[in-house]
Amino acid sequence: MIHIPNSIQTQCELVLGDWTSFHCRPETVWHERTIDFLTSLSTEIRRHPEAKSSPDLMALAFWLRKSHLLSMRRECHTAELSMGLGLTFHICPSNVPINFAYSLAFALLAGNSCVLRLSSKSNRATEIVLQTLTDLINKPENFSIAKRILLLSYQYNDDISAFWFSKAAGKVIWGGDSTINKMRQFPTPPRSREVAFADRYSFCVINAEYVLSIDNNQLQSECQNIFNDIYQLDQAGCSSPQLCIWVGSNNSILQAKGKIWQNVSIIAAKKRTDVNDIQVLNKFVNTCDAIIDHDQVTKVDIISPQLTLITVDKLNIAQHQFRGTSGQIYEASIQSLDELVPLINEKVQTLSYLGIDKYALQELIINNNLTGIDRIVPTGKALNMHNLWDGYDIIAGLSRTITIE
């Protein structure tokens, strides 16, 4: 048990959990009881009548299914005994509110008790997950899990945050550089662990000749993958591509662009009928800012309300400062992968690729001693959450290994 002062309780909205029964005793990593609970959460989300119309819900439910959890466990398998740290405190993201569920799942799988400060920004998918969690932890078979979870809502309050950080054996901070720097001001126990998700930048690389070589069915599939990466989170996620880099001759790139963007815009027009005036206006303002502030912008194509393309003629570190939203993509052309090097620093998280040899990308990192790129994945998988994320082994980072000789 942990003593939670009334002064802390009264300043928080307790969204889920129970103040009096909450405890911070660690359990073994990948405990079957935890896997069963998360599997039940997956099942109940998929049963919700609104699930199929929400990509966020379906992605979460798919990720939480038992076969996927067991697959991750096999990848993380070690012969050593691994236990949780105890209490973990999470500052959850506002750009992608549903990521609180992944943060919770990782910490539970790592054998921890979890206190999460939820973002004040919510959406329908987040509400459904919270309601589903509430229903599940009220079932008798989940009481032991319920004692390990507190979900809180409160406006930024240094007293509350300082209390939880002072108790946290592990802390998980989403929200970017400024949030991380702010939260690091609070004292934590000497052996407290940290997993912090800073501001990151992601892009995709496409081989133009590959695009021209595939048949129409394969082209449609590849365009659907690119659409998913861009639009599922409206480019709000750190792994969402902001920049598309084409590799090839000028002529092949021109043809490949036409094929890809024509099909992506058709998919977007069918699937993103919910685009609103504010989104269109924001993209227009962002585009005007880019024309003024970005020295390398040479062309702008407003393909549709859903898709805007901004061409730059040179890659450099400053490109990280220019980000799109809701289908606003920067583009550049190169003839060799070596031309990517000036773009890459520690800010770069995910490189998604189409028609590119992944081992050539691996060699690019090694041969140029790059400090950036933590993920190299095919297009369509940019947003796929994994235990290995942002360069961290999250579950290893939130647990301890016990050697026994």
156 pLDDT higher than 90 = no
**Which tokens sit at 307?**
């898709």
CA dihedral 54, 55, 58, 63 (to 10 degrees): -150
165 pLDDT higher than 90 = yes
Stretch 21-34: mean pLDDT, rounded? 96
For residues 170 and 74, state if they share a domain: yes
pTM: 0.94
**Which tokens sit at 203?**
């892009």
Q: Are strands 392-393 and 297-304 parallel, antiparallel or unpaired?
A: unpaired
For residues 359 and 231, state if they share a domain: yes
For residues 184 and 227, state if they share a domain: no
Measure Cα distances from 192 to 4, 156, 163, 378 in Å. Answer: 19, 22, 14, 35
Query: Domain of 57: which CATH number?
Result: 3.40.605.10
How does residue 65 score in pLDDT terms, banded at 50, 70 and 90? very high
How does residue 342 score in pLDDT terms, banded at 50, 70 and 90? very high
For residues 94 and 209, state if they share a domain: no
239 pLDDT higher than 80 = yes
Question: Tens digits of per-residue pLDDT, 108-138?
Answer: 999 999 999 999 888 999 999 999 999 999 9
For residues 37 and 80, state if they share a domain: yes
How many C-beta neighbours within 10 Å does residue 282 have?
A: 14
196 pLDDT higher than 90 = yes
What span, in angstroms and rounded, lies between the C-alpha atoms of 318 and 316? 5
For residues 177 and 252, state if they share a domain: no
What span, in angstroms and rounded, lies between the C-alpha atoms of 29 and 31? 6
Q: Are the C-beta atoms of 341 and 310 separated by less than 8 Å?
A: no
How far is C-alpha 288 from the geometric centre of its chain's CA atoms? Answer: 28
For residues 186 and 93, state if they share a domain: yes
Stretch 238-267: mean pLDDT, rounded? 97
DSSP-derived secondary structure letter, 325: -
For residues 237 and 129, state if they share a domain: no
How does residue 316 score in pLDDT terms, banded at 50, 70 and 90? confident
Query: Domain of 304: which CATH number?
Result: 3.40.309.10
Q: What is the mean pLDDT of the chain?
A: 95
Residue 124 belongs to some domain of the structure: yes
For residues 26 and 168, state if they share a domain: yes
For residues 100 and 116, state if they share a domain: yes
Residue 78 belongs to some domain of the structure: yes
18 pLDDT higher than 80 = yes
- The residues facing 299 across adjacent strands are 311
Look up the domain containing 258 and give its range.
201-378
For residues 55 and 12, state if they share a domain: yes
How does residue 33 score in pLDDT terms, banded at 50, 70 and 90? very high
Measure Cα distances from 289 to 14, 96, 321 in Å. Answer: 42, 24, 12
